[in-house]
Amino acid sequence: MRAILLFLSICCVSIKAQISEYIYPYSNVPIISNYGTTGLLQVPTARMHEEGTISFSWSHLEPYLRGSIVANPFDWFEASYQYTDVNNYLYSTVKSFSGSQSYKDKGFDAKFRLIKETNLIPEIAVGFRDLGGTALFGGEFIVASKKLGNIDFSVGMGWGTITGNSVSNPLAELHDRFKDRNLNSGDEDSVGGEVNYGSFFAGEEVGVFAGIEYFVPRFNGLRIMFELDPTNYNAEAYKPVAQDSDFNFGIVYPVNKNLFLKLGYIRGNTLNFGFTYTNSIGGKNPIINKKPKLREIKNSERFKRGNELDRYNLYRSSLKFLNENRLYLQTAHLSEDESKLSVSVIQPTYHSHPIAIGQTSKILDQLAPDNIESFEITMANGNQPMYKVTFPRKDFNTYKEANLPYALLSTTKFEDISAAEVQMHEFKPRAIFPVINSKFSPSIRSQIGGPDGFYFGELMLAHHASVVFSRNLELTSNINLSILDNFGDLKLASDSVLPHVRTDIVQYLKESKGLHISNLQFNYFNKIGKNIYTKTSAGLFESMFGGVGGEILYKPVLSNYGIGIEAWSVKQRDYDQMFDFRDYSVVTGHMTLYFQEPRSRILFKLMGGRFLAKDSGLHLDLSRSFKSGLRIGAFIARTDISYAEFGEGSFDKGFYFSLPIDIFFSEYSKPHTGFGLRPITRDGAAFLIHSHRLWNVTDSATKSDLIFDWGDIYD
């Protein structure tokens, strides 16, 4: 009886939970607080977005305007970047430097979920606000959130600037280290930007906060928020802000599942408006649903009969129909006993290789005589065969009917393949070189947040081209024509004591009006041995450097790791970004270790060597990739220069995300667009940017990636 009651109560909870999604729509999507992390108005909560979510928020609360980008590489970790306009303080007191522009502050926040909510236990998270930098809004908090019915309660404790409703710091009783909050790092040459670990959770007092989020039933997801504000308005930023009440309240209205509008009344004296746009884009086809469009072969049986008579008919018909589906056949071979058909294919369309493998197999299955028992498909990139996949044809079709892609894995073999093996294939269609790809597109380059003004930008017409001269040699180019810009008002000159390898950005922006070349690069690719790939390049690699050099990568096929070495002799380009060079030249190079953890899909990239400003050190990059092709990552670099030599920011750091463009379209395509954020552009730890890094060219040949995407084979 008890078991039945338990079962019924579980069912009731489950059904109620489902109905609640209609009564309180979008209540499972947390919004971004005015400080740029998930929370209420001013108060943080322990809530997190789904992993693979990217959010943007903007809020106006005098004297601050704040824009934030928030990324969730995991559902337990949130990283955010804030850009704040502090409009009660000037950028600088020197009018000739920044005019009457208000102060701009950039900051990083991080939040970690410690405990996930259960029926009895609240969700608990710890957060770090305005890490490093000037720490104008710096603080830490620990917060618990529990949902009861349609009310989400949060209570917490804050340090740093979150100490408005102060009580004694309980941690100070545990250890002396927590008694004194020293906001300086202690380094004599500190220029801000370093993370001051010693101050975490320290200080004589802490603030206590609480808040509720009430989801109004049957009101299109409207929420009412009420909170006890812990902010110490005398401690944050540069000037105290008047506070007439410790309580804030506001409403949030979801326009749809992505866009939330917020109106609040803060400090008992100030109206607050803002919005949050949030989108979970890590899953398969997160925005536009799409399916690969495979042209059906009419009269397939007739083809099969013809192909049975002459194997060259089979090769030629495979070439025709694969090419029509943008699967470019490079070689084909029928085994002596005619039981196995091998093909090698290049495909420029799908991030997910199993889609291309599945499409190739479906076409071959319609053309191959019935006596062919297995397909061996080699995926190649340029002239470099990456790996081959072999499976029985019968299993492919059996599991296709049942739509059981992972069952096919039991009889699928993944293997290395050498260029020589592919060259032994019987059928090698002649490629006609050169192959020219060319396209025009609008392009924008921006400079945000300098002392000369908030935004400087340029609209350009960009021409991207690649000319493939042979299977090994290609030329890539990116040539831009300026159409409209406001760079004329940029004045900021570099104050760097290092060679100005990046900080002359203003001159590059201002003097490259009209036609300028961002990239003009020859690449020669080769696979010189088992698992060893090379690239030799010469040209104008990026807007600031050109020269010659190369890269060599050892990556065992289908493995999750690689080791790369690159060396470049480069010269700084002239500011007009045409063919002239400046005097500065450098030999730069790195050894890079790559490791992709298969379960979390985190790529660890550790780069050590000599950077463009002739400083030496390490650059660590951690990023996570998602099913959609989204990648979210962060990096940090330390070299043998002091904080003072590096300048503002102390060392290089930042985070980025890279979006596959095809998530916005109904057609598949491979290009990505990126968005990188670093607090400030400095010269230290800067490395050369060059197209077609070998890891990026070969990382599709990673078994864990293939298995991760294997569910797509029957798409």
Partner 1 sequence: MCIFLVCACTTIPIGYLDTLGTAYKSLRNYPGTEIDKDYYDGFQYSFIRAQFSGAPPVILVLSKVENNEFFWVGSDGSTLTTNQDGKIIKTEGINRDIEFISTGKKKYKLNLFNPDAFYQPYEFNLTESSYTNINYLDSEILVMLKEEEFYSKIIGWKNKNRYYYYEGRPIRTVQNIHPYLPSLRLDFYYK
Binding footprint of partner 1 on the chain (CB under 8 A)? 15, 17-19, 21-23, 25, 217-219, 285, 287-289, 291, 293, 296, 666
Report whether 359 contacts 349 (CB < 8 A): no
- Tell me, letter by letter, the H, E, C secondary structure of 150-206: CEEEEEEEECCCCCCCEEECHHHHCCHHHCCCCCCCCCCCCCCCCCCHHHCCCCCEE
Residue closer to partner 1 by CB (options 18, 93) is 18
Residue with tokens 């004694």: 168
Residue closer to partner 1 by CB (options 11, 121) is 11
Helix runs in 283-387, H state only: 300-309, 311-324, 353-367
Q: How far is the CB of 319 from partner 1 (least distance, A)?
A: 23
Residue closer to partner 1 by CB (options 217, 240) is 217
The pairing of strands 270-280 and 259-266 is antiparallel
Q: How far is the CB of 121 from partner 1 (least distance, A)?
A: 24
Q: Treating both helix axes as pointing N-terminal to C-terminal, what angle do 353-367 and 393-401 enclose, rounded to 10 degrees?
A: 110
Structure tokens at 188: 């004599």
CA distance 640 to 633: 24
CA distance 215 to 26: 10
C-alpha closest to that of 596 among 698, 490, 714 = 698
Structure tokens at 506: 């203003």
C-alpha torsion sign, points 425, 429, 430, 435: negative
Residue closer to partner 1 by CB (options 21, 370) is 21
For 638-649, the DSSP string reads EESS-HHHH-TT
Burial of 363 (0-12, 13-18, 19+ CB in 10 A): buried
Residue closer to partner 1 by CB (options 153, 277) is 277
Q: How far is the CB of 27 from partner 1 (least distance, A)?
A: 12
CA distance 516 to 480: 5
Q: How far is the CB of 353 from partner 1 (least distance, A)?
A: 23
Structure tokens at 17: 């939970």
Q: How far is the CB of 337 from partner 1 (least distance, A)?
A: 36
Q: How many CB atoms lie within 10 A of CB 394?
A: 11
Q: How far is the CB of 289 from partner 1 (least distance, A)?
A: 4
Q: How far is the CB of 18 from partner 1 (least distance, A)?
A: 4
Q: How far is the CB of 345 from partner 1 (least distance, A)?
A: 25
Structure tokens at 50: 């789904």
Residue closer to partner 1 by CB (options 9, 14) is 14
Q: How far is the CB of 16 from partner 1 (least distance, A)?
A: 10
Residue closer to partner 1 by CB (options 287, 565) is 287
Q: How far is the CB of 255 from partner 1 (least distance, A)?
A: 14
Q: How many CB atoms lie within 10 A of CB 636?
A: 16
CA distance 46 to 157: 12
Residue closer to partner 1 by CB (options 293, 413) is 293
Residue closer to partner 1 by CB (options 219, 273) is 219
Residue closer to partner 1 by CB (options 366, 447) is 366
Residue closer to partner 1 by CB (options 17, 591) is 17
Residue closer to partner 1 by CB (options 295, 599) is 295
* Cis check: omega of the bond before 434, within 30 degrees of 0: yes
Query: At 616, which amino acid appears?
Result: S
- Tell me, letter by letter, the H, E, C secondary structure of 563-623: EEEEEEEEEEECCCCCCCEEEEEEEEEEEEEEEEECCCCEEEEEEEEECCCCCEEEEEEEE
By residue count, the chain amounts to: 715
Q: How far is the CB of 401 from partner 1 (least distance, A)?
A: 14
Q: How many CB atoms lie within 10 A of CB 295?
A: 9
Tell me, what DSSP letter sits at residue 92? Answer: -
Q: How far is the CB of 220 from partner 1 (least distance, A)?
A: 9
Report whether 322 contacts 699 (CB < 8 A): no
Q: How far is the CB of 280 from partner 1 (least distance, A)?
A: 14
Residue closer to partner 1 by CB (options 99, 711) is 711
Structure tokens at 120: 């009895």
